[in-house]
Structure formats: structure tokens, C-alpha cells
């Protein structure tokens, strides 16, 4: 890619339009757009409330094969497809997640697409943006402070300090905060206990904000958060601490979707960013449902590969928000096919058609899985300069055998001009009326059976292993009225199995359930099948060392 200008150079050269103009094109009057600078704005709650009831546009999900170190370009394709749909004359907008700030100072930033398919302002999106994540951090930590404060002043609710489930959060990669003891230093500082910090995107408040339909619903869900348990194991809720009102006040602005634009001046909502393992990994329901009222086509994406991201998008977000996706795009790259076919990262440049064919099994599995939800599928081959014609043809031929089509997309290098074919195919699928969306399992299925259904139907596993304690816990939750909740699987994103090294399309493997957690506010049961890191660390040489403001006042090193 050496011949291409860098993402940041392209983003800096962008000719942005005033955000009020972008909003006006969507029919949002300026008094309902709260600007943050001249290139970002939040849509008012009043406008959103008033827009309910109108006709919905078509909803297009962009998902992907299992990620590999080669990169697949899911966000880039989401942005490109939105631009492509606008290019062929459709009123389209995109909905993507906000970036977590902390990790940008560790390895690399950039959650705004790439090449000529980016959302701008890139710098802001990778820094504080409109402050949503800071608001989530604050609301989360207010609840934490209220818990320890309640105990300090007498613990009327009889919270067992060994069973406090609510940790603190920070939008930072800081391994030193993973496990701490707090309230040390004597009587004035409270009762010492063990706890720790997670990164903000792992907060249940983040998941709640992304699933809530409005401020009232937000407040109710916040109140439903289980902060810990008494000695008799009965739960203590955030509402017992009267925390829900103040948390809602802190999140008032954060609940409103952020409007920005693509490099081609098309509208984009960038709002919310829950973890894709212990949470559902999609942008906010408010952004998506609002976008569907404003545009004829809404292109959105889900986290990780389709086994995790699309499944949760369908079974959690769409189920709960009543969304009915009209088509899905599965992003693949020739390089990723090769890696799935056994090629090492250093050998990716050499043509290897056999490896491509072998790796296609992973793609095929995702295509078939997505169809199980009743959503028609097209494959987008995100073009890299090293791809050969023969390799591309191998992918196309393979996908054709599945009764689907794979379309080469050059949006990274060409912007919307490089993705017209995909845009036309998406329109064809969406207008065909083929879509018959249904979640994978019904609400009233037993929790353990829901897990087994995902494991067998989506992961093609042979069995689910869960200790008696896990099964007892699931049964207890069913008795307490949580049995109707959907499942949020926390599994490695690199494989259909729980072994990150097992690429391709394994079958008959075992899914061991380590632990289950109830996110009663968000409204799902988290099922943990492996080591899940909720607070990242920084690398030996953090990227922060090279981040600075240059003499032209531009930020260097963030991307």
C-alpha cells in the first residue's frame, strides 16, 4: 500500500461541509442539531421523539469473516457502501460505533474507516469526540462511589462487601487497575475490599445506553443494574441506592446520536461502542432507529466476525429493538482467506490459490449462518493491491457455489466509485423482499438451550460443557424472572471454536462455559467461554510516545 497516501493524509485533506448542512439534507432543522465544533452535532431528543412513527428505510448489516491479523476492513466497507449507495442515487446513511480512547495510546488508533472510505473528523473521533464515553465513565463510577458510600454510612441494605459485582471503569489501558484493594488507610476511608477497574467500553452502562430507546427506558435499565448481593445472595439494585436518576442526568447528552460525515460528505451516526465480547458490540439502538426514519438505506456494522457480531446484532439488538434487517454484507479479503487457509502473515504477498480455496470454508460458514436468520447475503471482497485476479476469482467461484455472489470492492482506493457494484447488489437484495428476519431462538427457550442453540447452529460445535454451578445459576435466574433474556456470548473472535488458533470452519468441537453473568440492566446473560480481558494493558513501547502536536498544530502519531 506504499503508493497510497496515508489514512491521516487523506482525512486531513478532506473537504468537510458544515455539519448543519449535512443535517439539513437529512431534514433535521438546525435548532435540533446541537453542534460540537463545526463538524459534529448531536440530534435533539425532541426531534427523535417526533420522528417516531414514520416509514423505516432499509437496514443493511455489514459483518465479516473471523478477523485475522491481515485485517478485513469492515468499517471501511460500511463507510464505502454508504457512500456507494448515495452515489447510485439512494438516500443513505451509516451507523457505526464510537472509538474507545484508551487503546489509541497503546497500539494504534483509527476506528473511522480507511483510505477513501473514512468518517471525519478523524482526530476527534479517536479522542474525546462529543464526550459520550466520559459521561458513561462518570455515570458508572458515580454508582460505584454510591455503593462504598452506602456501606460507609452503615450499610442499611446489607450489601455483602465480598459480593459487590460493580467495579469501576476508566477509558484507559491500565493493567495496574485490574485488581486493587480499595478503602485502605483507616476508618475515614471505609471498609477495605477487593475490586478493580474495567475499560469503559466494558461497562454495563455502555451496553445499556446502546440498547435503551429513550431517557425513560435508560433510567429504568440503569435502576435494574445489579450492583452486588447480600449474604443470602439476594440482589441489590442500583435503584436501591437511588442512583438511577443521577446516572440518567449524567447520560442525558450522551444518549443523543452524533452526526458526522464521510469523506464524500454523506451523513453518518457514530454513537455508542459496547465491547463485542461481554456486550453486544453494536452502535446504539437510538442511532439506528433514528437513521431508519431519516434515510432510505441505513448501513450499520457489528463487532468481530459474523459468529459473534452478527449473531448478537440479530439476537440481541434486532430482537429487542424490533429491527428487521433487509440484507447483510459479509466482508472478506483474499489475504484473510489465505490466512484461514494456513498461510503465515509474512507469506501473504505471494499468490496462493489453493490456500484461498481452503480458507473459503470460513467465509462459507458465515454465509450460511447469516442466512439462518432469514437475511439475504452478499460477499464483499475488500481489495488489496497484492490480490491477484486468480485469487479473487477463486473466492467468487466459491461463493457462487453457496448460491450467493461475491463482489470485488475498491472503495479503499477509489471511494464510492469503487463500490458501485456492491451498492447495486445490496439494493437488489433489499428491494427483493427476500428478507424474512427471525432471531435464532425464541425468548421462552430455556437459557441453557439458548446457549446450546448458538453453539451448535452458529459455531457448529458438538456440545456445550457447563458445570452444575453454572446450570444452577441459569435455573435460578429463570426462577427470578430473567429466563426470557437473550444470550450474549463471550468467545474468542478468531475462531468458530473457543480455540483462537483453530481457523477455517471447525465442527464438532466443545464449547466450555466458564462462567455466566447477568447484565440485568442491559438485558442479557453473558456467557463466558474463555479468558476475557476487560482491562487491556499498554505494550512495551506505547504509541503515546509518538503522539504529539506538530508545528502546524496537527496531531501526529494517533493513527
Residues of each annotated binding site: 68-75
Marked catalytic residue, from 14, 58, 76, 450: 76
CB 337 within 8 A of CB 355: yes
Active site residue 74: yes
Distance CA 65, CA 491 (A): 15
CB neighbourhood size of 142 (10 A): 18
Can you tell me which of 240, 253, 457, 515 binds its own copies, judged by CB under 8 A?
253
Site residues (CB under 8 A) for its own copies, limited to 206-225: 215, 219
What cell was used for 257?
446520536
Is there binding between residue 250 and its own copies (CB under 8 A)? yes
Query: Quick one: which of 72, 98, 148, 311 contacts its own copies (CB under 8 A)?
Result: 148
Beta carbon of residue 199, minimum distance to its own copies (angstroms, whole number): 11
Q: Show contacts with its own copies in window 85-104 (CB under 8 A).
A: 101
Active site residue 304: yes
The CA-atom distances, in angstroms, between 376 and each of 22, 122, 435 are 31, 32, 6
Of 276, 455, 490, 520, catalytic: 276
Residue positions forming the annotated binding site for ATP: 68-75
Q: Is 76 a catalytic residue?
A: yes
- Whole-angstrom Cα distance, residue 540 to residue 407? 40
CA dist., res. 274 & res. 434, Å (int) = 30
List all residues 6 or more positions away from 401 whose beta carbon is below 8 Å from its beta carbon: none
Q: What are phi and psi of 366, to 5 degrees?
A: -65, -40
3-class secondary-structure state, position 270: strand
Grid cell digits, residue 36: 460540537
* C-alpha–C-alpha distance, residues 176 and 510, integer Å: 34
Select from 28, 81, 112, 142 the one that contacts its own copies (CB under 8 A): 142
Given the complex with its own copies, which of 51 and 393 has the nearer CB atom?
A: 51
Piece of the chain touching its own copies by CB under 8 A; list 244-252, 260-268, 359-367, 410-418: 244-252
Smallest separation, CB 209 to its own copies (Å): 14
SS3 228: strand
What string marks each residue from 521 to 540 as x (binds its own copies by CB under 8 A) or -? Answer: ----------------xx-x
Residue 374 engages its own copies in binding (rule: CB under 8 A): no
Catalytic residue selected from 116, 384, 524, 559: 384
**Cβ nearer to its own copies, comparing 149 with 476:** 149
- Say whether 108 is catalytic: yes
- Answer yes or no whether residue 161 interacts with its own copies by CB under 8 A: no
Of the candidate residues 22, 146, 210, 513, the single one contacting its own copies (CB under 8 A): 146
Residue 187 binds its own copies (CB under 8 A): no
Among 5, 158, 181, 507, binds its own copies (CB under 8 A): 181
Q: Which of 120, 130, 124 is nearest to 42 (CA)?
A: 130
Contact indicator for 511, 461 with CB cutoff of 8 Å = yes
Q: Does 152 bind its own copies (CB under 8 A)?
A: yes
Q: Decide if residue 83 touches its own copies (CB under 8 A).
A: no
Nearer to its own copies, 479 or 545 (CB): 545
Residues counted in the chain: 559
Cβ partners under 8 Å of residue 385, min gap 6: 1, 3, 413
Q: Of the ranges 246-254, 337-345, 466-474, 503-511, which one interacts with its own copies (CB under 8 A)?
A: 246-254
Task: Measure the CA–CA gap between 238 and 144, rounded to whole angstroms.
Answer: 10
Binding window for its own copies (CB under 8 A); candidates: 113-121, 134-142, 205-213, 225-233: 134-142
Interaction residues for its own copies, span 10-39 (CB under 8 A): 31, 34-38
User: In 10 A of CB 20, how many CB atoms?
Assistant: 15
Query: Which residues between 302 and 331 bind its own copies (CB under 8 A)?
Result: none
* Binder of its own copies out of 88, 249, 361, 417 (CB under 8 A): 249
∠ CA 253-257-258, rounded to 5°: 95
Site residues for its own copies, window 101-130 (CB under 8 A)? 101, 105, 127-128
Sole binder of its own copies in the list 48, 61, 170, 448 (CB under 8 A): 170
Say how far apart CA 226 and CA 173 lie, in whole Å: 25
Amino acid at each position: 500500500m506504499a503508493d497510497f497516501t496515508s489514512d491521516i493524509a487523506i482525512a486531513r485533506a478532506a473537504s468537510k461541509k458544515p455539519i448543519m448542512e449535512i443535517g439539513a439534507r437529512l431534514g433535521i432543522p438546525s435548532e435540533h442539531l446541537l453542534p460540537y465544533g463545526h463538524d459534529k452535532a448531536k440530534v435533539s431528543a425532541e426531534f427523535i421523539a417526533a420522528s417516531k412513527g414514520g416509514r423505516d428505510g432499509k437496514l443493511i448489516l455489514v459483518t465479516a469473516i473471523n478477523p485475522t491479523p491481515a485485517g478485513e476492513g469492515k468499517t471501511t466497507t460500511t463507510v464505502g457502501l454508504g457512500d456507494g449507495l448515495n452515489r447510485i442515487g439512494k438516500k443513505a446513511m451509516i451507523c457505526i460505533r464510537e472509538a474507545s480512547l484508551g487503546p489509541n495510546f497503546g497500539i494504534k488508533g483509527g476506528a473511522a474507516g480507511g483510505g477513501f472510505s473514512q468518517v471525519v473528523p478523524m482526530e476527534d473521533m479517536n479522542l474525546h469526540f462529543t464526550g459520550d464515553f466520559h459521561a458513561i465513565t462518570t455515570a458508572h463510577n458515580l454508582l460505584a462511589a454510591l455503593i462504598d458510600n452506602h456501606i460507609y454510612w452503615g450499610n442499611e441494605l446489607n450489601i455483602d462487601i465480598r459480593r459487590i459485582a460493580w467495579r469501576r471503569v476508566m477509558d484507559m489501558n491500565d493493567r495496574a487497575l485490574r485488581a486493587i484493594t480499595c478503602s485502605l488507610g483507616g476508618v475515614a476511608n471505609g471498609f477495605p475490599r477487593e475490586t478493580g477497574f474495567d475499560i469503559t467500553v466494558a461497562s454495563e452502562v455502555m451496553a445499556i445506553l446502546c440498547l435503551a430507546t429513550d431517557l425513560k427506558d435508560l433510567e429504568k435499565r440503569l435502576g435494574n443494574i445489579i450492583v452486588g448481593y447480600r449474604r443470602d445472595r439476594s440482589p441489590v439494585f442500583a435503584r436501591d441506592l437511588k442512583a438511577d436518576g443521577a446516572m440518567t442526568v449524567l447520560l442525558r447528552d450522551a444518549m443523543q446520536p452524533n452526526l458526522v460525515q464521510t469523506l464524500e460528505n454523506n451523513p453518518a451516526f457514530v454513537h455508542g461502542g459496547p465491547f463485542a465480547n461481554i456486550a453486544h458490540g453494536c452502535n446504539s439502538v437510538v442511532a439506528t432507529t433514528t437513521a431508519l426514519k431519516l434515510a432510505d438505506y441505513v448501513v450499520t456494522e457489528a463487532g468481530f466476525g459474523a459468529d459473534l457480531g452478527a449473531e448478537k446484532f440479530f439476537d440481541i439488538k434486532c430482537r429487542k429493538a424490533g429491527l428487521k434487517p433487509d440484507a447483510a454484507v459479509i466482508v472478506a479479503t483474499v489475504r484473510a482467506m489465505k490466512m484461514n487457509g494456513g498461510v503465515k502473515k509474512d507469506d501473504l504477498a505471494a499468490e496462493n490459490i489453493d490456500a484461498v480455496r481452503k480458507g473459503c470454508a470460513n467465509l462459507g460458514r458465515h454465509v450460511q449462518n447469516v442466512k439462518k436468520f432469514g437475511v439475504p447475503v452478499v460477499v464483499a471482497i475488500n481489495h488489496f493491491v497484492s490480490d491477484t485476479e486468480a485469487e479473487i476469482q477463486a473466492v467468487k467461484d466459491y461463493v457462487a457455489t453457496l448460491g450467493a455472489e461475491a463482489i470485488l470492492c475498491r472503495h479503499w482506493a477509489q471511494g464510492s466509485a469503487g463500490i458501485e457494484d456492491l451498492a447495486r447488489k445490496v439494493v437488489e437484495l433489499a428491494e427483493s423482499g427476500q428478507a424474512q428476519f427471525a432471531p435464532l431462538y425464541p425468548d421462552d427457550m430455556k437459557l441453557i438451550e439458548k446457549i446450546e442453540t448458538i453453539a451448535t447452529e452458529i459455531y457448529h460445535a458438538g456440545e456445550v460443557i457447563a458445570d452444575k454451578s453454572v446450570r444452577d445459576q441459569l435455573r435460578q435466574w429463570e426462577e427470578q424472572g430473567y429466563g426470557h433474556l437473550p444470550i450474549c456470548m463471550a468467545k474468542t473472535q478468531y475462531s468458530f471454536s473457543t480455540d483462537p488458533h483453530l481457523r477455517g470452519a471447525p465442527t464438532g468441537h466443545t464449547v466450555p462455559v466458564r462462567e455466566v453473568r447477568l447484565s440485568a440492566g442491559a438485558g442479557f446473560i453473558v456467557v463466558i467461554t474463555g479468558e476475557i480481558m476487560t482491562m487491556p494493558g499498554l505494550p512495551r513501547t506505547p504509541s503515546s510516545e509518538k503522539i504529539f502536536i506538530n508545528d502546524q498544530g496537527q496531531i501526529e502519531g494517533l493513527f
